[in-house]
Amino acid sequence: MSQSDSLNAPPPRFWRDDGLPFIEAQAVQDGRQVCYGRHSHEIFSIGSIMAGHSHYFHEKKRQQISAGTVVLMNPGDVHACSALDKQPWGYRMLYVDTAWLARLQHESGLDPNVDFHGFSIISTPSPALFAGLNQLYDVLIDPDADNLLKHSAALSFFLDLQHTLAVTPTGPRTSSQKLQRAADYINDNFSRAIKLEDICKAANLSESYLIRSFEHVYRMTPHAYLLNRRIQYAREQLKRGRLIADVALETGFADQAHFQRTFKKYLAITPGQYRQ
């Protein structure tokens, strides 16, 4: 496939169903133009690499992944992917509501006193898991499959996942109270223009300490953390059908063009394509 072919490649495809609000699917056929910035989200993600190779960054680990690999991201895990030397690669992802998955974990016998049991591995070449994940994806996007079939397939896959892969209780990141206050301040004020001194004042930290320590704990700079918070909020609003211009304004972007560029950097799709 030539460079011009990649530019004309179909956009990422998202699937959603109001009858199954706990799960969302995405597929990218040619990801060589896709370069995600570091980001995280409050939902669980699992994906299969369908073709080619890519760089995979997860928390502090970097690795190359290729076709046949399954990748996992627990809620809050900072991650990013990009093409390997601009070579073609394709993938499928499932995004799963954390509360739904946690209830399933508790019903299957895991400790109900733990909010969510995270998975201890971030990637695996398991052929069985790869095949099962793709089978579920195919069922979900099948227009002829009814709600009962799709819901049952999702339950079966994620119940099997609990028994196939090791899990461990997932708690909040270990950080000082002051750094936590800095993150809380960003979370509470993401819709407005935030200055570095505002964060430092709220957390009672020096600027040098904040810049040096925040990324060590949260795997993102304060600015990247802010952008990620805005985009994850925007994602939820667009799923509800809200107007792009309104969401851009509400999330604190200077203009709609800036919002469009940032959204695509994080989700590999424009807000308009995602909203559809």
Domain 3-169 in CATH 2.60.120.10? The answer is yes
Question: Tens-of-pLDDT digits for all 276 residues of the chain?
Answer: 444 444 566 777 889 999 999 999 999 887 666 656 788 888 999 999 999 888 888 887 888 999 999 999 999 898 888 777 777 788 999 999 999 999 999 988 888 888 899 998 889 999 999 999 999 999 999 999 999 999 999 999 998 998 888 777 665 555 688 899 999 999 999 999 899 999 999 999 998 889 888 888 888 889 989 999 999 999 999 988 899 999 999 999 988 999 999 998 888 788 998 887
Q: Could you tell me the two tokens for 193?
A: 């223009």
* DSSP SS3 for 248: helix
Q: Within the chain, which residue ranges are assigned CATH 2.60.120.10?
A: 3-169
Report the distance separating Cα 204 and Cα 210, nearest Å.
10
Angle between the N-to-C axes of helices 147-164 and 127-141, in degrees from 0 to 180, rounded to the nearest 10: 160
Q: Within the chain, which residue ranges are assigned CATH 1.10.10.60?
A: 177-275
Q: Which CATH code, of 2.40.10.120, 1.20.120.790, 1.10.10.60, 1.10.3720.10, is assigned to 177-275?
A: 1.10.10.60
The predicted pLDDT at position 2 comes to 45
Taking the mean position of all CA atoms in its chain, how far away is CA 124? 18
Cα separations (Å) of 70 from 47, 126, 232?
A: 6, 7, 23
Torsion, Cα of 149, 150, 152, 153 (10° steps): 110
Report the distance separating Cα 214 and Cα 206, nearest Å.
12
